[in-house]
């Protein structure tokens, strides 16, 4: 559990490969969380004033760094979560798509103006970064979901604190290293390890202006309620379920292969597996193959 005393509690991440050495990550006590938030807040003024062209150049370098490190990142996902090699690579590649999108963020940051909206009145709209943003990621996609969150946030001029799942922290930590190597200034992208109390403490900080969450309905509802009660922006993706529908004209063998792959290819991340299967009139053939 998270600690509120003067010690740092550690979380051990075990690889699903028996020959691998477990990794230990420290959960931050409240005083150190203050330091992490302060660091992100102090980095915001300079980063938000950095020209968008320079921020985009850094995102291009980060994209290149993640692409070059793809096999290593996929290996971290596979070892900690037990995904198949193909699904582990897919985890990173899907996140990389969002990172690529962040490289074109300049076109999304344009404002608008309307001269002579009224007598001697011109209307101008500007898009400005919010400040420090918080991302709370689940365990089932250790690379993809963090890559959903922080690249777009920092490309838009915000600073970011990521709280990855304590079960699979390695990919996020590696992404932080790659970000520094790509030129993201210190304090712009931060990693905080911990559990429930860590999240509650982060959300309560006035410096945090927006929260993004992916996970269970119960926890996400709590995050949304806590964040919005404090006037923070919150987007929460809750309780996702995956379903398979086999149509009458489907090839039974191909359908069976896809169902098995979807059900078991994700290793221990059962939240991403198929939860519902609907078979049409060819269902008996598929059932036999399964």
**pLDDT single digits (tens) 21-33:** 555 555 556 678 9
- Please report the pLDDT score of residue 7 as a whole number: 38
Based on the domain organization, do 94 and 163 belong to the same domain? yes
Question: Are residues 226 and 259 both part of a single domain?
Answer: no
In a domain, 3, yes or no: no
Query: What residue numbers bound the domain in which 138 lies?
Result: 9-107+128-240
Do 38 and 140 belong together in one domain?
yes
| Higher per-residue confidence, 25 vs 3 | 25
Same-domain check for residues 135 and 193? yes
* Residue 253 pLDDT: 84
Lowest mean pLDDT across 213-227, 229-243, 266-280: 266-280
The chain-wide mean pLDDT, for the chain, equals 86
Domain containing residue 59: CATH number: 3.40.605.10
- pLDDT given at position 11: 53
Shared domain check, 259 and 218: no
Mean pLDDT of 2-15: 44
* pLDDT confidence tier of residue 175, bands split at 50, 70 and 90: very high
Does the pLDDT at position 16 exceed 90? Answer: no
Q: pLDDT class for 112, splitting at 50, 70, 90?
A: very high
Q: What is the pLDDT of residues 31-69, one digit of tens each?
A: 789 999 999 999 999 999 999 999 999 999 999 999 999
Same domain, 54 and 25: yes
Residues 79, 151, single domain; the answer is: yes
Evaluate whether residue 205 is within a structural domain: yes
Q: How many domains does the chain have?
A: 2
The predicted-structure confidence for 86-111, as pLDDT tens digits, reads as follows 999 999 999 999 999 999 998 889 99
**Confidence category of residue 166, pLDDT binned at 50, 70, 90:** very high
What is the predicted pLDDT for the residue at 173?
Answer: 95
Residue 272 CA from chain centroid, whole number: 15
Amino acid 4: pLDDT: 33
Residue at 115 is within a domain: no
Distance CA 56, CA 273 (A): 35
Same structural domain for residues 144 and 158? yes
Q: Check if the beta carbon of residue 188 is closer than 8 Å to that of residue 37.
A: no
Q: Are residues 152 and 235 in the same domain?
A: yes
Rg of the chain on CA atoms, in Å: 22
pLDDT-derived band of residue 277, with 50, 70 and 90 as boundaries?
A: low
């Amino acid at each position: 559990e998270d600690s509120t005393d003067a010690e740092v509690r550690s979380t051990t991440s075990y690889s699903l490969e028996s020959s691998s050495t477990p990794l230990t990550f420290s959960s931050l006590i409240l005083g150190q969380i203050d330091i992490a938030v302060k660091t992100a807040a102090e980095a915001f003024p300079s980063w938000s004033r950095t020209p968008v062209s320079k921020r985009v150049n850094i995102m291009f370098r980060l994209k290149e760094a993640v692409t070059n490190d793809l096999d290593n990142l996929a290996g971290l996902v596979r070892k900690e979560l037990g995904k198949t090699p193909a699904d582990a690579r897919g985890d990173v590649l899907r996140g990389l798509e969002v990172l690529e999108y962040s490289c074109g963020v300049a076109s999304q940051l344009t404002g608008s103006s309307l001269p002579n909206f009224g007598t001697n009145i011109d209307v101008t709209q500007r898009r400005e970064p919010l400040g420090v943003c918080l991302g709370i990621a689940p365990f089932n996609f250790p690379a993809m979901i963090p890559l959903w969150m922080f690249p777009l946030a920092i490309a838009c001029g915000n600073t970011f604190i990521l709280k990855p799942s304590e079960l699979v922290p390695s990919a996020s930590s590696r992404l932080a290293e790659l970000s520094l190597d790509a030129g993201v200034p210190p304090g712009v992208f931060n990693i905080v390890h911990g559990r429930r109390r860590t999240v509650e403490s982060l959300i309560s900080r006035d410096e945090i202006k927006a929260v993004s969450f992916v996970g269970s309905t119960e926890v996400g509802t709590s995050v949304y309620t806590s964040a919005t009660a404090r006037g923070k922006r919150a987007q929460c993706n809750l309780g996702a379920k995956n379903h398979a529908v086999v149509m009458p004209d489907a090839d039974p063998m191909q359908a069976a292969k896809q169902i098995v792959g979807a059900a078991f290819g994700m290793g221990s991340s059962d939240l991403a597996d198929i939860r519902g299967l609907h078979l049409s009139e060819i269902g008996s053939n598929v059932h036999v193959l399964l």
